[in-house]
Amino acid sequence: MEVDYSTIKVIGFDADDTLWVNETYFRDTEERFASLLEGYETKNKIDQELFKMEIKNLELYGYGIKGFVLSMVESALELSNNQVSQQTIGEILDLGKKMLLEPVELLDDVKTVLEQLKDDYRLIVLTKGDLLDQERKLEKSGLSAYFHHVEVLSDKKEDNYSQLLEHLQIDVKDFLMIGNSLKSDVLPLINIGAQAVHVPFHTTWQHEEVKVEENNYRYLKISKLSDILEYLK
């Protein structure tokens, strides 16, 4: 696709599954959760119930690991008809703590890309999730110094982006967002007149999946982050 990034001055990066691995830890924990409850339901049913619970609770808890843990506990109670043992509840809490303590694994070429872009563009991070957890991951990632600004949003919809760009005094025409979620990192930006690049990760949370007629939207899709260097500069 023909793209023109000549006006771009600020580049926003999504963090989870764009700069570092995230979704994989959720998939692994869902597996462990299902085996903890295998005495009560089939794996399929457990997966479905947990997902439904997460979506139901999203408005109250927001995105991130802590809300996910609470949804696992509530699902365990529901799936077991309140019969789940205190020990199992303890094991669920431990699964969540383990997730919060995972090392930060950078995706390929992240440092190279940031290094190449840092002098010519203002780089910022736009993520959603738990504030404390995202700050911890950024710190552990060793990437903080590349970014002028880090924003943890409660959601990534058109309004969230518009308000943030206004607050940071960034003109939409100057802004390019790069991320793995079509729904959260790409389409809202196109809709407000900014530009966006989609870099899919190998696994996507069901809630982030969206079907679009790709031809209706003008955005670039690349297979790995470093491909962006061909288009910028």
85-100 in b/e burial notation, b at 16+ Cβ within 10 A? eeebeeebeebbeebb
Is the Cβ–Cβ distance between 158 and 192 less than 8 Å?
yes
Distance CA 93, CA 231 (A): 45
SS (H, E, C) 80-106: CCCCCCHHHHHHHHHHHHHHHCCCCCE
Q: Shortest gap between Cβ of 14 and Mg ion (angstroms)?
A: 4
Q: Within 165-204, which residues bind Mg ion (CB under 5 A)?
A: 180
If one asks whether residue 54 binds Mg ion (CB under 5 A), the answer comes out as no
Is the Cβ–Cβ distance between 178 and 18 less than 8 Å?
yes
C-alpha dihedral (115, 118, 120, 121), degrees to nearest 10: 140
Q: Which of 10, 13, 16, 225 binds Mg ion (CB under 5 A)?
A: 16
Q: Which of 8, 10, 12, 17 binds Mg ion (CB under 5 A)?
A: 17
Span interacting with Mg ion, options 13-21, 28-36, 73-81, 157-165, rule CB under 5 A: 13-21
Nearer Cβ to Mg ion (20/33) = 20
Nearer Cβ to Mg ion (14/54) = 14
Distance CA 19, CA 138 (A): 10
Q: Shortest gap between Cβ of 181 and Mg ion (angstroms)?
A: 5
Q: Shortest gap between Cβ of 16 and Mg ion (angstroms)?
A: 4
Q: Shortest gap between Cβ of 200 and Mg ion (angstroms)?
A: 10
Nearer Cβ to Mg ion (84/179) = 179
Residues that bind Mg ion (CB under 5 A): 14, 16-17, 180
